[in-house]
Amino acid sequence: MSDDVNGLNESIQYVTVVIGGQLFGLPIERVHDVFVPESITRVPLSRPEIAGVLNLRGRIVTAIDMRRRLHLPPRQDGGTAMAVGIESKGESYGLLIDNVGEVLDLPTAGREPNPVNLDARWAAISGGVHRLNGQLMVILDVDRVLGGMAEAIAA
């Protein structure tokens, strides 16, 4: 990303989401909308991460269960899921997450590489870590989240 070469004063805005208790951040320019997914149609024979397809204002959106994508157990508290709408290669995807938090403006300089002992499956889709007050925010690399799945299908 271009922010690597930019000066220290540069910052990126992140939409923060919570998945399985962990805080994640998505670059705001990748997030099209945040919505409550309704009536998801499951797709038989699809990859387990794919929760199904749904109609978002006339567009068919592929919903991806981020808990499954991150190898987390299914949600137990029964709360309503939220979804973050993103676009990739002309197609619409909805990442199912637990909660949406605030938008954070974080300096690029504060970004740290993935800890070496991070679960490899997480490291594969993480674009780095930000240290916030009292917690860590993992940067979710949207392209890698989707790319990894596409590769698995192609394989």
Distance, CA of 77 to CA of 74 (rounded, Å)? 10
Which residue number, 57 or 73, has a Cβ lying nearer to other proteins?
Answer: 57
Residue with tokens 């954070």: 104
Q: What backbone phi and psi angles, to 5 degrees, belong to 84?
A: -110, 120
The verdict on 53 binding other proteins (CB under 8 A) reads yes
Site track for other proteins across 71-110, x = CB under 8 A: ------------------x-x-x-----------------
Indicate the SS3 state at residue 109.
Answer: helix
Angle at the Cα of 96 (from 35 to 51), degrees rounded to 5?
A: 115
The verdict on 33 binding other proteins (CB under 8 A) reads no
**Cβ(53)–Cβ(83) under 8 Å?**
no
**Residue among 36, 45, 116, 120 that touches other proteins (CB under 8 A):** 45
Task: State the DSSP code for 30.
Answer: G
**Residue among 44, 48, 79, 134 that touches other proteins (CB under 8 A):** 44
The verdict on 59 binding other proteins (CB under 8 A) reads yes
Candidate segments 2-10, 29-37, 53-61, 118-126, binder of other proteins by CB under 8 A: 53-61
